[in-house]
Structure 1
Amino acid sequence: IVEDYAINELMPVIAKGGYVTQRDREEAASRMARYSGISKASILSYNLDVPTSFFWKELLREEGYTIGRLDSRYKGIDKTKGGERPDFNSELTSWLHSFTPAVNYYYKNVLNFKTDVKYNMFGPVRPWDNSDNRTGENLRQAMAQNPFLHTMIQSGYYDGATKYFDAKYTMWRLDPSGRMKDRLSFKGYRSGHMMYLRSEDLKQANDDIRDFIKNATPRKGEPAQY
């Protein structure tokens, strides 16, 4: 319901920008408030275009919490309730203190791998360089040239950084002809950026990968042609 509303009703309203009628603006803000959990007034103050960083700060503001960027199931506590964005990424605090010591212990004490090199959970990736980003078109061309190439996207619903709906929307627009949609699939999970942190999703994601491989593997003797 929410996805259908976003595509078929909300996007046309936002596309009108400052020329949208006040009635449509108010109606859109009311629907967005109901679906998102933040106030209609906040949404109107951003002209229906709410920054994700503000959402992470605003959703649980009155309860005194922020929510995580990569996984909104994690809560954080800021110095003040005021502000436009969280003081820190609450999910990273948990992950860094969980995974980094564990993997270093495993390397040193189980694998007996000795090194003084620091293990970084995250690398220096900024600034992002998207100046020549043709990933989608490159994938489309590869799938067009190889009838056996299938693509499955797996994404967590609570990931606010690489958002699941962005991935699904990109998949929809990958091949405007619609001729390859039977080889494109999407799987969503009730987790965040690392969907395998939830045991149910770890199992389901693995099962989905196995099914994907089976379905994408050509039958013996099947020619690679359209």
Structure 2
Amino acid sequence: MEYTVETGRMPIFDDEGEIQVQVFYHYYKVKSAARRPLIFSFNGGPGSPSLWLHLGTMGPRRVKMQADGNMPQPPFELVDNPHHWLKFGDLVFIDPVGTGFSRAKDEKTSEKFWSVKGDIESVGEFIRLFLVRKERWASPLYLAGESYGTTRATGLSGYLIERGVSFSGLILVSSVLSFQTLRFNKGNDLPYAVYLPTYTATAHYHGKISGDLQELIGQAREFAFGDYWLALAKGANLTGEERYRIRARLSALTGLSEDYLERCDLRPDIWKFCKELCRDEMRSVGRLDSRFKGIDATNRGVDEGPEHDPSMSLLMGPYTAMYNHYARTECGYETDLEYCVFKGIKKPWDWGSAGEGHPDTSEAMRKAMSRNPYMGVFVASGYYDLATPFFATEYTVSHLDLDESLRGNIEIKEYEAGHMMYIHEGSLEKLAREVGDFVSRTRGK
């Protein structure tokens, strides 16, 4: 397939016409007489550029990893990606302010965009300008986000529809729309329930429990919002007999000992689970992808969290090196700027009015779907994702308060991989095929 790729920085102006930021992008276009879909893509963090989706699944070139997604021995290399998304749409990869090569005129200006609101407004303005300058207003439009990028995408769907931009679909990879499902705060028992099926899948993968994976996940789903949820709700009123029964069942589904679960008050958070599951092997398991194990400096003690996330550590080197090679060598983008992966955001993210509670952009998506009943939503989740668990996503979708006529617009697909399910070769092909089918169904005439 012949295509062109354009790299550059789009200036965004303030009300006085002065440049505030320069947003870096890659634009892939296939010459065609047909009206091709246009897919805007970004990753999450907040603070991550778009290299993961770009060189992991969507673009025509990808970072070569081992078949299971593990890190190969350096030096790293790029290979052709036979499952690229150019087959069904033109692609725009966006690096939000402070990530990648995107820069504001100064740090004080940057801080305006390091917030839920400022981030949505700046990316929204980039999309508007792009549609104007590239004359793509008549194209079927899509947003593809991963992790916090799904928070951004759903927020954008509500923000932009009020400004005349309607999307044919949202593609949400490893979603977090309601942060209540992820934050193990005092008094918030919801994460303990929605994380449970991922704990079960992880324990099964590492041989800590046995049985059929799908049957075990089904049992964990049922227990999570059945007896376990009732036990969590009872708090200190849980009787001794009930506690014994819940503890034994929780141990059978997580692979954690009953003694450890008792010390956790039946509430193992993600960091405790990552540290404890394979402690007997002197290993911790990954947060982004719990299939991977890491070596910690202290695995014999009682410290409650892993030293690092092995699944992130295994990806950071290959993707950073190969993106820098690709942008400069294959795309011809010349700059001495550092390509910032996570470290470009130099202050805490401003969560706005949600900072005291739980940020949530699911309502923005519901409003966008209500105003544009043709918009489809494709949701992809990995069984081994402890950053944005699949059952948490199912919970959020089932609590959208969406009109019954629109519920069929959302489809959820799950993969036997982690947060970046596409690093697993089998899931890479499956994801591309299922997203391609989704775009074909929702693009219109």
1:215–1:107: structure 2 CA closer, same or farther, 3 Å change rule? closer
Question: In the alignment, which residue of structure 1 is the partner of 2:387?
Answer: 161
Unaligned runs of 5+ in 1: 221-226
Question: In the alignment, which residue of structure 1 is the partner of 2:353?
Answer: 131
Question: In the alignment, which residue of structure 2 is the partner of 1:182?
Answer: 408
Q: Of the candidates 208, 221, 236, which is equivalent to residue 3 of structure 1?
A: 221
Task: Confirm or deny that 1:22 pairs with 2:216.
Answer: no
Task: Confirm or deny that 1:89 pairs with 2:309.
Answer: yes
Question: In the alignment, which residue of structure 2 is the partner of 1:12?
Answer: 230
* Per-residue deviation, residues 34-81 of structure 1 (Å, max 9, x unmatched): 111111111121111111101000000000101111111121111121
* Per-residue deviation, residues 125-167 of structure 1 (Å, max 9, x unmatched): 8446163444111111111222212212111111111121111
Q: Distance in 2 between matches of 1:130 and 1:189?
A: 33
Stretch of structure 1 that moved more, 148-157 or 193-202:
148-157
Task: Confirm or deny that 1:148 pairs with 2:374.
Answer: yes
% identical equivalent positions:
32
Q: Which has the higher contact order (CA 8 A, sep 6+)?
A: 2
Alignment-mate amino acid for residue 264 of structure 2: Y
Question: In the alignment, which residue of structure 1 is the partner of 2:87?
Answer: none
Task: Confirm or deny that 1:106 pairs with 2:326.
Answer: yes
- Partner of 2:225: helix, strand, or coil? helix
1:112–1:147: structure 2 CA closer, same or farther, 3 Å change rule? closer
Alignment-mate amino acid for residue 401 of structure 2: D
Q: Is the 8 A contact 2:366 2:402 kept in 1?
A: no
Q: Tell me the CA shift for residue 19 of structure 1.
A: 0.8
Q: Which has the higher helix share?
A: 1
Q: Tell me the CA shift for residue 176 of structure 1.
A: 6.0
Q: Distance in 1 between matches of 2:333 and 2:307?
A: 36
Q: Tell me the CA shift for residue 94 of structure 1.
A: 1.1
1:75–1:134: structure 2 CA closer, same or farther, 3 Å change rule? closer
Task: Confirm or deny that 1:38 pairs with 2:260.
Answer: no
> What is the RMSD computed on CA atoms of the aligned residues?
1.9
Q: Is the 8 A contact 2:328 2:334 kept in 1?
A: yes
Q: Is the 8 A contact 1:13 1:20 kept in 2?
A: yes
Q: Is the 8 A contact 2:271 2:306 kept in 1?
A: yes
Q: Distance in 1 between matches of 2:438 and 2:240?
A: 47
Q: Tell me the CA shift for residue 177 of structure 1.
A: 5.6
- Partner of 1:185: helix, strand, or coil? strand
Q: After TM superposition, where is structure 1 displaced by more than 6 Å over at least 4 residues in a row?
A: none
For normalisation by structure 2, the TM-score amounts to 0.47
Q: Which has the higher strand share?
A: 2
Q: Is the 8 A contact 1:157 1:164 kept in 2?
A: yes
Alignment-mate amino acid for residue 222 of structure 2: D
